[in-house]
Amino acid sequence: MMLEDSLADGRLLSEHDSVRIIQNVIDYSANDIVMSISVSSWWGSNLRWARNTPSLTSEQRDATVSIAMQKGGAYSTIVTNQTDSVSLRNAVQYLEYFVSLRSGHTPPDMAVEQPEWAVEGIELWSEETFNRSQEQDMIAVRSLISRCEQEGVLSAGFIQATGARAARYSRDQWGREKRNVAQATQAQCSVTARHPSASGSGWAGSSAFDFNRVDVNRISTIALEKCMLSFSPVRLEPGRYQTILEPQATSVFASQFVSALSRRDPEAGRPVFSMLGRDSGINRVRTKIGLPIVDKRISIYHDPLDPLTGTVPTEAVKRVNLVTEGILTGLFNDYGHSLIELNSLDIKVSRTSFRFDGTDQPVESMISSTTRGLLLSQVSNPVSVDRGSLLSTGLTRNGLWLIEDGKITRSIRNFRWTESPLFIFNNVVEIGEAAPVFAPVTGRNPFRDSSQNVLTNVVVPYLKVNDFSFTSTTDAV
Amino acid sequence: MKSTRRSFLANSAATIAAASFPLQVRGSDPSHIDLSLVVQYIGIREIVESAVNAAMNAGAKYADARFTFTQLINGRGPTPVRSESIGFGVRALYNGYWGFSAGPVSTEQEGDRLGRAAVLKAKINGNDSGRVEFVPPANASSGEWKMLVKDDPFLMSYDEIQDFMEGIRLYISTLPSVEGSWATADFVRQRKLFVSSAGQFTDQTLYRTSGNISFTVGDQHGKRVTTRIDSLTPAGRGFEHIRDQPLHKYIDELHATAMEDLKLPVNPVDPGRYNVLMDQIGVAQLLNGSIAAATELDRAMGYEANAGGTSYISDPVNMLGSFRIGNENVNISADRAAAGSVGRVKWDDDGVEPSKVTLVKNGVLVNMQTNNEASSWIRSYSEEQGMVSQSLGCSYAPDAIDFPLVHSADITLCPDKLSSHITTDSMRMAFGDGVEMKSPNVAMDFQCMTGFISTAAYEIKGGKRVAHLSGLGALFRTIELWTNLAETGGEEMAKSFGLSGSKGEPTQSSYHQVTAPAVIFNEVSCIDSRRKA
């Protein structure tokens, strides 16, 4: 099968063609081999602009066929974007050569019987997003540019719509087969507005599976307002400040926290969520499940059926309550760890999408109840400095303001911060409204790398916290 | 009849049969076969040309097209992960705006579609006159060029590579107190064809090889030291980049140092300003973050403001020739022609043959890194200086599916030719008291203006390492750092490292070589990185 024939709708491989490619690979392979095949294709159209002028309008598309084989402990993978019979036959023969040659040289993996449960998820495909015209986006961009020119501000930004479709197949050591097909769209828009003298900068962005949820005009307005409000910042002494984190800032710390919620690490004795003593039933280091770890108003969970943070139904995934009213109630637990290490079917596949529950308290009220503190728009460039306590350091970016007596009074020069989500989530003063944040998949193909990164959708709230640690200033704007 | 890939595939049954059954027919290790027949390049040049013609027929003022065939081997043990991809992209300039269209299909029909689509995309930008002034390189050369490598990993049996790496790992495991070891290798080969409407055709093959050989030693108190050979960062070489290095000597040296480290006490950091001896890879990281990215002209002009950020060089035209980045001893050059360098090309992605330039001369900024389009933005400065306004050859796209952007060339901090120091050890002995930083990580801000260093560090007294400093970090301002450059090591101690950079939306990554000797900086602000306010 030729790729040009398969790209029938001009952008993505059809479901029918994806399945046919998989069947071809199966037909070329030995019957007794353990294997998995993934056929995915993606398409993206982009608008990019800078210095108040469009700089590029583009369209890209690609396909990926990933084949993995396993035999007698040997395992090998090959990835290609060509789907003709010659390429696929060569790929299969290459893999069979490798796994046969090495089979038996390493101990075979323990048999992994995958559990049967319903594949849950929601439809994350928007036909309107897939067919959106770039002319329409350019009108919005031109409107933004015009407003920025009137204000004497330089804007730069990016608008992208992508679509991706994947078909998967796997065959285990008992010859049992599994197949599924999934598709998703993703829309994103982000805008940076900067003062030409580099003395003020504002940013806003949004991403979702449906372009109707991405309001380009609103994003533009926020970026422009933040730029104007952050103009000519003054220097403030570093120190600990009561700080209101906007959702985009909260999301960085919440994502650090969620990514550490793996059962494998604490049970191997690695810190953060491990504790003294061993669990006698499974002879593993005890975890902190069931213990309070953060403020009791905090609940964080992954729900594949949540319309804002849900999952494309590509594999078995179920809801995981990670933190419930401050208590650690769940740790992600992959197939291998669950079945081989624990002899358990309590599998919770790790996801980067999650919801951190908010309240109905508006940010205006959080500001008005602040005697002296800071409003933090965005954090940038985080670097881990102590994995054991999740401590990291980074910078504030695109807007930091001083709040005095319930009002925003000054724009502040950027700070370097040194903080841990464990400290932040234990020093919460108020939790505000939750909102989806800008968290697009950054790779070209949302289905290319692994099922865990199909889409990243995060909903987190405004947080007002005590004693947020700002350790030094930076002149960068 | 002109041969195309489609007709080739349809008609050459015998060839297909041979390539389809490489094991049976050739009876050889298939680890070096190309998966796809398209790499035989039957009619590919004509297909790429047809894409450019389609764009020009659709009204483009200028168009170019790239075809890439990229192969990767990730050697992570006995069975590698292997990948191959084909990319085909067309860039068209219409009314001063760029349009771009790309995909994985390489047929004449697809070339025609991509060419027309690129122009349609460019037209979306508007009817006013655009911003792009693009003059194709004058007297641009055409031809074929292949990076010179001794051992092409894609023509070798993977078993040979694996045996070598496993031998290294086994050697390490025989050394005392070793608790874990790693020996892996990654290879990339890319063939890139370029055709432009100015009549240029280039065909070049590039290589990138890197390795990771590292190990951990530990003592009975639970103290551990992990160390790695730092000369295996990506290079524009074949497998010889790994095999031809004196690895056993490096491993023995690193092991001896690590065992000495285990005996050193661990002291807390006393925050303050210290003179710092920085090893070569540390200086390279500093150059990468504070100079390489900052001098990419598109970034400085604000074209990356919504992505990686901007630059402290906020007004390049007025800062060039007068802006002081460091003291008199700071001399930095950019180049893409050094043999073995990972950024090496014969032609960049605008079809320009790169030239070596000085970016910083005696501490003063004198040039920026440009592609063909960006070079026009500083034309007034170039003409003032009596220089020909031309691209420095920094246009790069990782794959034909990506739009070319300005990416950093290979960067070199010129060594002090008069320095008597030819090793880091001799610099340390002459150093006196202070801090030595080893293999640090550098994180810059979004304007390349300030940075944070996290690093393994030693306390130095009387020219000797006397203790580890636990959790030491450092903060710096770019200009202050390079102004406080106190001593630069000699030519013999300069080392090259393949480092990466990323930019753009969608994000694209590139590699370039950064070469530096060890240096001494005065008055670096050292902190306990784990201490909060």
Q: Which residues of B touch A60 (CB under 8 A)?
A: 89, 100-103, 401-402, 506
- Looking at residue B59, its amino acid is G
Strands (E), A317-427: 320-324, 327-328, 354-356, 372-386, 391-404, 407-411, 415-419
Q: How many residues in chain A?
A: 477
**Any A CB within 8 A of B199 CB:** no
Rg (alpha carbons) of chain A, rounded to whole number: 25
Q: Which residues of B touch A471 (CB under 8 A)?
A: 527, 531-533
Cross-chain residue pair A138–B124, CB shorter than 8 Å = yes
**Any A CB within 8 A of B23 CB:** yes
Report the complex ipTM: 0.93
The two structure tokens encoding residue A266? 């604490």
Strands (E), B139-177: 143-146
Which residues, at least 6 apart from A229, have a Cβ–Cβ distance to it below 8 Å? Answer: A200, A202, A399, A401, A408, A411
d(CA B297, CA B371): 9
DSSP secondary structure letter of residue B156? S
User: Hey, is A169 helix, strand or coil?
Assistant: strand
- Looking at residue A308, its amino acid is L
The pairing of strands A327-328 and A320-324 is antiparallel
Which helix (H) or strand (E) segment holds residue A16: the answer is helix A15-28
d(CA B25, CA B20): 9
Instruction: Say how many C-beta atoms besides its own lie within 10 A of residue A247's C-beta.
Output: 23
d(CA B311, CA B204): 32
Cross-chain residue pair A192–B85, CB shorter than 8 Å = no
**Location of structure tokens 């950054």:** A442
Which residues, at least 6 apart from B90, have a Cβ–Cβ distance to it below 8 Å? Answer: B51, B52, B54, B55, B63, B64, B65, B100, B101, B102, B111, B114, B115, B117, B118
Measured over the CA atoms of residue B145, residue B150, residue B152 and residue B155, the dihedral's sign is positive
Cross-chain residue pair A51–B131, CB shorter than 8 Å = yes
Which residues, at least 6 apart from B324, have a Cβ–Cβ distance to it below 8 Å? Answer: B363, B364, B365, B479, B483
Which helix (H) or strand (E) segment holds residue B24: the answer is helix B22-26
User: Hey, is A422 helix, strand or coil?
Assistant: helix
The two structure tokens encoding residue A335? 């197939």
Query: What is the pLDDT at residue B197?
Result: 96
The two structure tokens encoding residue A462? 């405004």
**Location of structure tokens 């990554």:** B509
CA distance B529 to chain A (A): 7
Query: What is the pLDDT at residue B375?
Result: 93
Cross-chain residue pair A474–B110, CB shorter than 8 Å = no
Residue of A9, A29, A41, A94 to mutate, testing the B interface (most B Cβ within 10 Å of its Cβ): A94
- Looking at residue B195, its amino acid is V
d(CA B420, CA B155): 44
CB nearest to B475's CB, from A135, A444, A472? A472
Q: Are A275 and A346 in contact (CB under 8 A)?
A: no
Q: Are A41 and A81 in contact (CB under 8 A)?
A: no
Q: Which residues of B touch A142 (CB under 8 A)?
A: 126
Q: Please, which residues 276-335 of chain A have a Cβ atom closer than 8 Å to chain B?
A: none
Instruction: Say how many C-beta atoms besides its own lie within 10 A of residue B134's C-beta.
Output: 18
Measured over the CA atoms of residue B271, residue B276, residue B277 and residue B283, the dihedral's sign is positive
Q: Dihedrals φ, ψ of B8, to 5°?
A: -60, -45
**Any B CB within 8 A of A264 CB:** no
DSSP secondary structure letter of residue B476? E
d(CA A338, CA A267): 11
Which residues, at least 6 apart from B347, have a Cβ–Cβ distance to it below 8 Å? Answer: B141, B145, B194, B202, B204, B353, B393
Concatenated DSSP letters of A271-293:
SSSEEEEEETTTTEEEE-TTSB-
Q: What is the pLDDT along chain A (477 residues), one digit of tens a residue?
A: 556 666 645 799 999 999 999 999 999 998 888 899 999 899 999 999 999 999 999 999 999 999 999 887 788 899 999 888 888 998 998 888 888 877 766 555 544 555 555 566 788 899 999 999 999 899 999 999 999 999 999 999 999 999 988 898 988 888 888 888 888 899 999 999 999 988 999 999 999 999 999 999 999 999 999 999 999 999 999 999 999 999 999 999 999 999 899 888 887 777 788 887 776 666 677 889 899 999 999 999 988 888 888 877 666 567 889 999 999 998 887 766 666 666 666 667 666 789 999 999 999 999 999 999 999 999 999 999 998 899 999 999 999 999 999 999 999 999 999 999 999 999 999 999 999 999 887 666 655 544 444 567 899 999 999 999 999 999 999
Closest to B362 measured CA to CA, from B328, B326, B333, B413: B328
Q: How many residues in chain B?
A: 533
Q: Which residue of B has its CA nearest to A54?
A: B125
Q: Which residue of B has its CA nearest to A467?
A: B533
Q: Dihedrals φ, ψ of A169, to 5°?
A: -145, 140
The two structure tokens encoding residue B375? 């070079």
**Any B CB within 8 A of A78 CB:** yes
Query: What is the pLDDT at residue A353?
Result: 85
d(CA A177, CA A166): 17
CA distance B317 to chain A (A): 14
Measured over the CA atoms of residue A331, residue A335, residue A339 and residue A345, the dihedral's sign is positive
**Location of structure tokens 């551990």:** B224
Concatenated DSSP letters of B325-358:
-S-TT--EEEES--TT-TT--SS-TTSPPP--EE
**Any B CB within 8 A of A425 CB:** no
Query: What is the pLDDT at residue B22?
Result: 33
Query: What is the pLDDT at residue A452?
Result: 40
**Any B CB within 8 A of A158 CB:** yes
Query: What is the pLDDT at residue A76?
Result: 86
CB nearest to A93's CB, from B30, B105, B449? B30
CA distance A138 to chain B (A): 7
d(CA B413, CA B488): 9
Closest to A64 measured CA to CA, from A477, A471, A426, A445: A445
Closest to B191 measured CA to CA, from B67, B106, B88: B67
Cross-chain residue pair A84–B101, CB shorter than 8 Å = no
Q: Can you give B458-490 as a three-state secondary structure string? A: EEEECCEEEEEECCEEEEEEHHHHHHCEEEECC
d(CA B235, CA B255): 24
pTM: 0.93
The two structure tokens encoding residue B279? 């090893």
CA distance B386 to chain A (A): 29
CA distance A11 to chain B (A): 9
Q: Dihedrals φ, ψ of B164, to 5°?
A: -65, -45
**Any B CB within 8 A of A194 CB:** yes
**Any B CB within 8 A of A385 CB:** yes
Q: Please, which residues 329-388 of chain B have a Cβ atom closer than 8 Å to chain A?
A: none
d(CA B373, CA B371): 6
Rg (alpha carbons) of chain B, rounded to whole number: 25
Question: Can you name the residues that pair with B435 across neighbouring β-strands?
Answer: B276, B459
Query: What is the pLDDT at residue A9?
Result: 54
Residue of A43, A55, A396 to mutate, testing the B interface (most B Cβ within 10 Å of its Cβ): A55
Cross-chain residue pair A94–B82, CB shorter than 8 Å = yes
Query: Which stretches within A350-416 are classed as H helix?
Result: 363-368
Mean pLDDT by 10 residues, chain B (533 residues): 38 35 40 59 87 98 96 84 93 96 92 97 86 77 96 91 94 96 96 96 97 96 93 98 97 96 95 97 98 98 96 96 97 94 96 94 97 94 87 95 97 90 89 94 96 95 94 97 96 95 93 97 96 92
